[in-house]
Chain A
């Protein structure tokens, strides 16, 4: 009983042991913060991986694989498949409206089925937002404006005005909402005769087509370097080149079957929207275009087969009447709810193999295809991140041992100071174990308080880590979380309660561990000499 009574009094009266508590608090906070960010990063990587590639992907050679439509049919027949979509991925050069050329990853997609697999439509930057989505955006974000015509046009004019005031276009002079509705698309986009900007943004991104039917292009929000990111997932467009009113020229390099490069193919696309998956490497490099268009540009479209033996009078080969099927480089598949990706992968492998059986020689054999779950595709990267997380955690845990030593030395001093009291307690009948427990209880309570304070501190910091990071960047130029390195613009700001509890428990344990030796020493003190001690 005396332990509880004395401990509560020591807590209120002794300053130095509070330092032990502080060190436990700081270590706990430090480890929770580091762990939350690292683990949050791992989560982001994992989720982002899944978002872009569906559950299972079939990857073929860079020159693509034929009979993909039959593979798709086969897949769509499977009960385990929710959706499947063909894609072509290739490198390209994008000439921006301001005449710079950017290297891009060209992704040819069939928007509807691709959306069914990956949720593409929800990554579009310009779209009417749900109320909940809008609420999460900062106050100044242009996307919070109304999406109905007329009034909204007044707001949208703000950004367009910026574009219009570029010296290049000054001659056009200021124009009203009506003028905008009629003018903007026309002078900037010959492909969409009378469409309004808002109509285009609402629809064309999802179809990759202007209302007039021309194929459109959707670049990542960071592809255009004049889209200036401001805090909180918003971009500032005022007075800059507003991409969805512009057109760009995409150049791709068609490959021969031997892997050589044929003449580069270029095509002008109106930008019909932009997208953001909040992953730097994707948002800054990917452009979406319709898969059939890029197929044609790369010479991978279905063509009439030409005879190798018969020639016409000009010496050109004669068509055989058959078609050589088109090719794609990838098929992404989404599993139905409850179907494990690994199981789906097996079925996808079987589906591909069965189509291959029918077209031996005209398709790459299954052994040359990469059919992997999303986890397998990012396993290498995730593994690296996991290792790094483990490494950092180990390092920080070792650093936290400093707290153990600090607690040890503080308690050593406390026991020294309390030697006489220990003698008194022994004289009135306290056992050695009781004395040990007195100091361990004291350490336990300091540890619990310290860990709780540390956890509170960590939660506070982690939840506000982006504003804090932003502030550090603005005031002192300290940028720890560079999106170019970490791929994500935002520092993860969630604390996992289970891990936080575990780390807190470790903090308490460290405090008790540090106090163990001094407590045992206290118990071993000879009561007679303790009573002589002045």
Chain B
């Protein structure tokens, strides 16, 4: 299988006042097409940071290594190309769901497609896109919630909406940051079932967690420790 993502000697340092806090210290990480990788690490180990760098939401240190997506260095891209990458190539799922409170469930799901197309493009594809969003919600057991606002949903339901949103533009890579971190064991299990189901259908997934039990659902576990990865 080819590598979808190749991360080489990745470095990320935060500055707190006058002190440099290195979080990632030359990390190497590969993700193969169709694979489900779990990144295991303690709180504050830099899991989220890694995910943000993989998703082009943040940039590594100067000369801080490379993130290759399909053999292209995403940090060399223009802002426009990065926006497009986040929009169509990756989908983020966050611990705290991060849905837009003003939009209903269906619109939240379709958000990435609204960003993707301009007015005309969106309106001309509207019914097709709405069908896709509705199908995703249906698959996640949310078809009767489409018109509800996020505030009217339970945590598990919100996270399912967030996963649907992440998958809207059929990204090559799903980046999940502690997707069950805010949920009880049962609901978290359901979310993992949903993720497993998408994986079965071929979705490449990088999931970040501090819980070994949850990580064990993935094909492969890597551990983030001291700013580097170790296969466990």
Contact = CB atoms under 8 A, between A and B. Distances in A.
Interface string B154-184: 0000000000010000000000000000000
Contact of A6 (B85, B98, B99, B102): B102
A426 B112 contact: no
B102 A13 contact: yes
B111 A528 contact: no
B107 A428 contact: no
A431 B79 contact: yes
A10 B102 contact: yes
Interface string B112-156: 101111110111000000000000000000000000000000000
Contacts of B119: 1, 4
Interface stretch (A301-309, A325-333, A372-380, A416-424): A416-424
A2 B103 CA distance: 10
A64 to B, nearest CB: 77
Which of A2, A426, A431, A531 is packed against the most chain B CB atoms within 10 Å?
A2
A9 B112 contact: no
B118 A428 contact: no
B219 interface: no
B58 interface: yes
Interface stretch (B38-46, B67-75, B87-95, B192-200): B87-95
Given A425-B115, A426-B57, A429-B84, A5 B98 contact: no
B166 to A, nearest CB: 8
A117 to B, nearest CB: 63
A429 B86 contact: yes
A2 B114 contact: yes
A479 interface: no
Which of under 10, 10 to 19, 20 to 34, or 35 or more describes the interface residues of A? 20 to 34
Contacts of A531: 57, 94, 98
Given A427-B92, A429-B112, A431-B79, 10 more contacts: A2-B111, A5-B114, A6-B102, A13-B102, A424-B100, A425-B100, A427-B55, A428-B92, A429-B85, A531-B57
Nearest to A527: B57
B114 A426 contact: no
Contact of A431 (B83, B92, B99, B107): B83
A319 interface: no
Closest 10 CB pairs of A and B: A429-B87, A1-B122, A9-B102, A2-B114, A429-B86, A1-B114, A428-B112, A431-B83, A427-B92, A424-B98
B100 A421 contact: yes
Contacts, number: 75
A434 interface: yes
Contacts of A534: 96
Q: How extensive is the interface on chain B, given as a class?
A: 20 to 34
Nearest to B108: A424
B127 to A, nearest CB: 14
A528 B52 CA distance: 7
Contacts of A134: none
B181 to A, nearest CB: 14
B18 interface: no
B62 interface: no
- The A interface, classified by DSSP as helix, strand, loop or mixed, is helix
10 contacts: A1-B115, A1-B117, A5-B103, A5-B114, A9-B103, A424-B98, A424-B100, A425-B111, A432-B79, A528-B57
Contacts of B83: 429-431
Contact of B115 (A2, A4, A526): A2
B165 A5 contact: no
B98 A427 contact: yes
B140 to A, nearest CB: 18
Query: Residue among A13, A423, A424 with the most chain B CB within 10 A?
Result: A424
A423 B115 contact: no
A431 B96 CA distance: 22
Nearest to B168: A428
Interface in B8-37: none
User: Which of B80, B83, B103 has the most chain A CB atoms inside 10 A of its CB?
Assistant: B83
A345 B81 CA distance: 72
Nearest to B98: A424
Nearest to A432: B79
A528 B102 CA distance: 21
Contacts of A10: 102
Contacts of B102: 6, 9-10, 13
A423 B97 CA distance: 12
Interface string A1-33: 110111001100100000000000000000000
A381 B194 CA distance: 82
Contacts of A434: 115
Given A1-B114, A432-B79, A426 B86 contact: yes
Contacts of A13: 102
A338 to B, nearest CB: 52
Contacts of A424: 98-100, 111
A1 B57 contact: no
A99 B68 CA distance: 107
A424 B115 CA distance: 11
A15 B100 CA distance: 18
A527 B119 CA distance: 24
Contacts of A430: 83, 87, 115
Interface in B46-65: 52, 55, 57-58
A431 B80 contact: yes
Interface core residue of A5, A434, A527 (most chain B CB under 10 Å): A5
